[in-house]
Chain A
Amino acid sequence: MKNIKSEYTPPKFAAWILEKINGGARSLSFIGDLYEIFRETAIESGLLKARLWYWKQILNSLNSLFKNTFMGSFIMLKNYLKIALRNLLKGKFYSTINITGLSIGISACIIAILFIRDEFSIDDFHVNGSNIYRVSNEFSGPTGKIYRTTRTRLNMADDLVENYPEVINSARVFEDYGVLSSDEKRFNDYIFFVDASFFELFTFPLIQGDPGTIMSEPNGAIISESLSEKFFGDKDPIGKTLTLEMKHTFVIKGIMKDSPPNSRIDYNMFVPISYLRNVIPEERYESTDVVTYLLLAEFASHENLKSTIQDFVIRKYGEKFARRKYTIQNIKDLYLNSYLDREIGKSSDIKYTYIYSTLALIILLIASINFINLSTARGIKRSQEIGLRKVVGARKKQLVWQFLGESVLTSFFAVFISVALIHQFLPWFNSYTGKELSFRLFLDWQITAGMIILALISGLVSGIYPALIVSRYSPVTTLKSQGSNKNRFLRRSLVVFQFSVSLLFIVCTFIVSDQMNYLRNKDLGFDTDNKMIFEVYDSTFNEKRFQLLKNELMQNPDIVDMTSGFSTPGLYNGYEMPFEIIDSGNNNKYNMSLLWIDSEFLDFYQVKFVEGRNFNMKLAVDRKGALILNESAVKLLGLENPIGKRIKADYEKVEGEIIGVVQDGHLGSLYDKIKPTVFQYSLDMVSSLSLSYMPGSEQELITYMNEKWNELYPGMVLNHFFMNERIERQYSDVEKTEKVYNFAALLSVLIACLGLFGLSSYNAESKIKEIGIRKVLGSSVSSIIKLMTKDFIILVLIANIFAYPTAYYIMSKWLVQFAYTAGIKPQTFFITSLITLSIALLTIIYQSFRSALANPVDSLRYE
């Protein structure tokens, strides 16, 4: 006998499948027989042939399995399918309600799945992803406020690689935003300073050039295809140059594909991090803060690094780092679970995935309830069929399967329709979430599988209860009664649930949009109309420059006034630091925000003075030693006569006399309480110019400003925004929430009303004779309408009881994030009730009228 090689064993996976198919007694010897034949074939005709033969056995086994087990039930299956289709067609009206509702629910779920999958796919294409960590840290500011940041020292990456054997590589990133220019064109863009190893850690698709060598050169650059297209059109960009801020010239040596849509970093240009030496002044170079990524060895645990990095930093860089707390985060957590300042790349919040999936499931549940209610209500009608099946010998189990099959069939129809719905709604959803989700049925096996699973789940969820109930009917009792009270109670509870959820969503929509209106229209304590803000990126900007610019700009008649400051009101509270009152006899510290402004800043924004005066530039002392406080600050300091008192803050070497007090205004967003604020005159740290203009001159003004700007700063691009818009943009999250609730409310009301319509139609149908008799006996139309609508209206009213406390609870939690809220108004609940009641009434009134107006002769003809 030939020596049989040990690898001559059948494919494991195929063996496993075969074992599963050939269950029971057969498996004991069958697999063994196959094994034997496999070896023979392998020896005689080669391993490949044997393997092919072995795989083929799966088909043979399936065939045999089908013949042995299914053949008998196949005929019944055909019958079930036929009956199911007949029933769907017979109750076209109810089937339409069911399928419409379910398809809306399923579409919502699929879109939620697309969204969630996309959220979780961010940055998942990096081959080393699970081993790349980012160093982050948190520290407390001068007043104890915690700042969390992604930035570390420049040399930290190398030190960590040196001291931790498990850290095998590192990459640093520094980002800058500025003007890029070629010979002919200029664009603003982000530019990333990176180590050569950046491209070893991360998997970004390169087209041309070797990043290792390019990033080791002093001024090489790699740009994206679309940036190349923007600057050079079809021409080959290699060897051409791009200049940053008119100062720093880089030679393009490599091209890479545009950043994939699921990349956190949206890059267009990479240059070597070593170049930073030329950008950042020598004295600040050592303290440059970069983002540090670490590559850990495969299979190495990150726990050791995570737990010892803090000690390492203190040991290495000294005790002053003790107030910073260092840690590491895996890059896969950065997009959804990291909420730090100065992130590089986009961030989202895991809460959206929770919110969307919950809402989608609730909508599907409401649709399933329609199915449950209509099937149990109409189950009576099928008692004859059920009775006959039972008499012929159907077991309860078989009937349950039959009815489940019908509900699954219904939800499969719904899936077909939802395909169309998703195609319709996905673009809308994309524009609202800013995503680029695409729906490619069949090409995308996960989605296809998801749809099938959803169809099965929604079919089973909506079908299981009706199936159990209906299959329990005994033919004798169904002939006698009109459904048990227990069923009617369940149906009513479910209707109450549907309307509670709908009411909840409506109330939430109202409260959120109330809050949004409040945020939009709240008087902030300063004037925001007809104001435009221009961002200034110039570290050399000072008073002299500002005066020159102002003299020039004020000659334009469209410009009413202009001012400048460290920030723009409504967007930034100022930097918090501890102040103390000089000569107060104690050294109590008071946390107040400091804001540097131009002398006319307060007048420009029409901030009202409570007492004292504004800065006067003619007085030399006002340039440095004069401070203006807001009312909150005065209150905090507890000063009765603040004017003339002196305060100081050692932290920024601020010291001066209080010369004026202004009314409180919302310098930050309405998320924050008004802060005690100190205004000081300074134009050394200007970040924006504020202009007020004649209404209607906006477009000319923007063009004019850009021209002027180019004279002053050749090559710099001026960013502008309208003040009202910019302030409102802070509340985009609220707007999003408003839209989500709005949409959820719309869908849930729609589906719930569909169900109500179905139930009321059924109700009218089954009471047709009762009404006929009532009319014959002299009942009026109005009393019949009352009879028909009363029950449902009571249900909707009961739903209020459940919806309002829940809504109140959810919304008061939501409103906590704002320091200033519109509150929850009682009339919101009243209006919601009114709206829902009217919608519900409208839904059922049609059927009620029809039955009330019907001629009793028609309904009683056959009695």
Chain B
Amino acid sequence: MNLLTRGEEVVLIAVWRLGENAYGVPIRSLLIDMTEKDWSLSSVYDALERLEKKRYLESFLSEPMQSRGGRSKRIYRHTKEGLNAMIRLKTTQDRIWEGITKPAIEGRL
């Protein structure tokens, strides 16, 4: 399995959540909402392009749109490998966090 950075991991999940609408702008705003940090569009694209290179994501261009200055959208979706990777991620995450609850952590404060 290709290792994913934390950023790539979040982007992979963001694409899942957005479904049909997974292109640059909403991905970025979702990332900002999820992580509560400012993401530059470039860094979003960096992550997306790396994920594509690792064959977890694939993309296609939409028709050019007037509202985008005559540019297309590049819409991303998971490949089979990408979905597998998500499964593995989810499994690992769950295993790591198993039995740990937020109240428990807060109780130690």
Real complex partners, A and B?
yes
Knowing A28-B61, A29-B61 touch, does A36 contact B45 (C-beta < 8 A)? no
Does B42 belong to the interface (CB within 8 Å)?
Answer: yes
Least CB distance, B89 to chain A, in whole angstroms? 24
Least CB distance, A584 to chain B, in whole angstroms? 91
Does A37 belong to the interface (CB within 8 Å)?
Answer: yes
Does A695 belong to the interface (CB within 8 Å)?
Answer: no
Interface pairs (6), CB distance under 8 Å: A28-B72, A29-B71, A31-B71, A32-B24, A33-B41, A35-B68
Residues in A1-44 with C-beta less than 8 Å from chain B: 9-10, 22, 26, 28-37, 39
How many Å lie between the Cα of A22 and that of B48 in the bound state? 14
Structural contact, B41 and A34, CB atoms closer than 8 A:
yes
With a cutoff of 8 Å between Cβ atoms, the chain A residues found around residue B35 in the complex are: none
Structural contact, B24 and A33, CB atoms closer than 8 A:
yes
CB nearest to A58 among chain B residues: B42
With a cutoff of 8 Å between Cβ atoms, the chain A residues found around residue B73 in the complex are: 29, 32-33
Residues in B6-28 with C-beta less than 8 Å from chain A: 23-25, 28
Least CB distance, B69 to chain A, in whole angstroms? 4
Does B92 belong to the interface (CB within 8 Å)?
Answer: no
With a cutoff of 8 Å between Cβ atoms, the chain B residues found around residue A34 in the complex are: 41
A766-802 vs B, CB cutoff 8 Å, 1 = contact: the mask equals 0000000000000000000000000000000000000
Within 8 Å by CB of A28, from B25, B40, B67, B74, lies B74
Does B65 belong to the interface (CB within 8 Å)?
Answer: yes
Structural contact, B41 and A26, CB atoms closer than 8 A:
no
Stretch at the interface among A59-67, A341-349, A396-404, A835-843: A59-67
Knowing A26-B49, A37-B28 touch, does A32 contact B42 (C-beta < 8 A)? no
With a cutoff of 8 Å between Cβ atoms, the chain A residues found around residue B40 in the complex are: 57, 60, 64
Knowing A37-B25, A37-B28, A57-B40 touch, does A32 contact B65 (C-beta < 8 A)? yes
How many Å lie between the Cα of A57 and that of B43 in the bound state? 11
How many Å lie between the Cα of A60 and that of B40 in the bound state? 7
CB nearest to A56 among chain B residues: B40
Structural contact, A35 and B46, CB atoms closer than 8 A:
no
Within 8 Å by CB of A33, from B23, B61, B70, lies B23
With a cutoff of 8 Å between Cβ atoms, the chain B residues found around residue A64 in the complex are: 40, 42-43, 45-46
Does A68 belong to the interface (CB within 8 Å)?
Answer: yes
Which B residues are within 8 Å of any A CB, using their own CB? 23-25, 28, 40-43, 45-46, 49, 61, 65, 67-74
Since A29-B71, A33-B41 are in contact, a sample of 15 more A-B pairs with Cβ atoms closer than 8 Å, ordered by chain A residue number, is A28-B74, A29-B23, A29-B24, A29-B72, A30-B41, A32-B69, A32-B71, A33-B28, A33-B71, A35-B69, A35-B71, A37-B28, A60-B42, A64-B45, A64-B46
With a cutoff of 8 Å between Cβ atoms, the chain B residues found around residue A35 in the complex are: 68-69, 71
How many Å lie between the Cα of A9 and that of B40 in the bound state? 19
With a cutoff of 8 Å between Cβ atoms, the chain B residues found around residue A61 in the complex are: 42
Query: Which residue, of B28, B42, B49, B71, has the highest number of chain A Cβ atoms within 10 A?
Result: B42
How many Å lie between the Cα of A63 and that of B72 in the bound state? 24
Structural contact, A63 and B23, CB atoms closer than 8 A:
no
Least CB distance, B40 to chain A, in whole angstroms? 4
Query: Which residue, of B46, B65, B72, has the highest number of chain A Cβ atoms within 10 A?
Result: B46
Least CB distance, A506 to chain B, in whole angstroms? 61
Which A residues are within 8 Å of any B CB, using their own CB? 9-10, 22, 26, 28-37, 39, 57, 60-61, 63-64, 67-68
Structural contact, B69 and A63, CB atoms closer than 8 A:
no
Structural contact, B43 and A60, CB atoms closer than 8 A:
yes
4 closest A-B pairs (Cβ-Cβ)? A32-B71, A33-B24, A29-B74, A32-B68
With a cutoff of 8 Å between Cβ atoms, the chain B residues found around residue A30 in the complex are: 24, 41, 45
Query: Which residue, of B41, B49, B61, B73, has the highest number of chain A Cβ atoms within 10 A?
Result: B41
Structural contact, A37 and B41, CB atoms closer than 8 A:
yes
How many Å lie between the Cα of A34 and that of B61 in the bound state? 16
With a cutoff of 8 Å between Cβ atoms, the chain B residues found around residue A60 in the complex are: 40-43
Query: Which residue, of A29, A34, A60, A63, has the highest number of chain B Cβ atoms within 10 A?
Result: A29
CB nearest to B49 among chain A residues: A26
Knowing A32-B72, A36-B67, A36-B68 touch, does A63 contact B42 (C-beta < 8 A)? yes
With a cutoff of 8 Å between Cβ atoms, the chain B residues found around residue A67 in the complex are: 46
Within 8 Å by CB of B69, from A28, A31, A57, A68, lies A31
CB nearest to A39 among chain B residues: B67
Least CB distance, B11 to chain A, in whole angstroms? 14
Least CB distance, A23 to chain B, in whole angstroms? 13
CB nearest to B61 among chain A residues: A28
How many Å lie between the Cα of A707 and that of B88 in the bound state? 111
Least CB distance, A40 to chain B, in whole angstroms? 8
CB nearest to A64 among chain B residues: B42
With a cutoff of 8 Å between Cβ atoms, the chain A residues found around residue B65 in the complex are: 32
Structural contact, B69 and A9, CB atoms closer than 8 A:
yes
How many Å lie between the Cα of A64 and that of B70 in the bound state? 24
How many Å lie between the Cα of A64 and that of B50 in the bound state? 12
With a cutoff of 8 Å between Cβ atoms, the chain B residues found around residue A37 in the complex are: 25, 28, 41
How many Å lie between the Cα of A34 and that of B28 in the bound state? 11
With a cutoff of 8 Å between Cβ atoms, the chain A residues found around residue B70 in the complex are: 32
Least CB distance, B71 to chain A, in whole angstroms? 3
How many Å lie between the Cα of A26 and that of B41 in the bound state? 11
Least CB distance, B53 to chain A, in whole angstroms? 11
Least CB distance, A797 to chain B, in whole angstroms? 65
How many Å lie between the Cα of A61 and that of B28 in the bound state? 15
Least CB distance, A287 to chain B, in whole angstroms? 68
Within 8 Å by CB of B25, from A9, A33, A68, lies A33
How many Å lie between the Cα of A443 and that of B42 in the bound state? 35
Least CB distance, A657 to chain B, in whole angstroms? 96
CB nearest to B24 among chain A residues: A33
How many Å lie between the Cα of A67 and that of B42 in the bound state? 11
With a cutoff of 8 Å between Cβ atoms, the chain A residues found around residue B41 in the complex are: 30, 33-34, 37, 57, 60
With a cutoff of 8 Å between Cβ atoms, the chain B residues found around residue A31 in the complex are: 69, 71
How many Å lie between the Cα of A22 and that of B46 in the bound state? 11
CB nearest to A33 among chain B residues: B24
Least CB distance, B75 to chain A, in whole angstroms? 9
Structural contact, A68 and B46, CB atoms closer than 8 A:
yes
With a cutoff of 8 Å between Cβ atoms, the chain A residues found around residue B43 in the complex are: 60, 64
With a cutoff of 8 Å between Cβ atoms, the chain B residues found around residue A29 in the complex are: 23-24, 61, 71-74
Within 8 Å by CB of B42, from A9, A39, A57, lies A57
Least CB distance, B17 to chain A, in whole angstroms? 18
CB nearest to B39 among chain A residues: A60
Least CB distance, A15 to chain B, in whole angstroms? 8
How many Å lie between the Cα of A33 and that of B42 in the bound state? 10
Structural contact, B42 and A36, CB atoms closer than 8 A:
no
Least CB distance, A43 to chain B, in whole angstroms? 12
CB nearest to B46 among chain A residues: A64
How many Å lie between the Cα of A68 and that of B109 in the bound state? 42
Knowing A36-B25, A37-B28 touch, does A28 contact B71 (C-beta < 8 A)? yes
How many Å lie between the Cα of A60 and that of B45 in the bound state? 11
How many Å lie between the Cα of A33 and that of B72 in the bound state? 9
With a cutoff of 8 Å between Cβ atoms, the chain A residues found around residue B46 in the complex are: 64, 67-68
CB nearest to B64 among chain A residues: A32
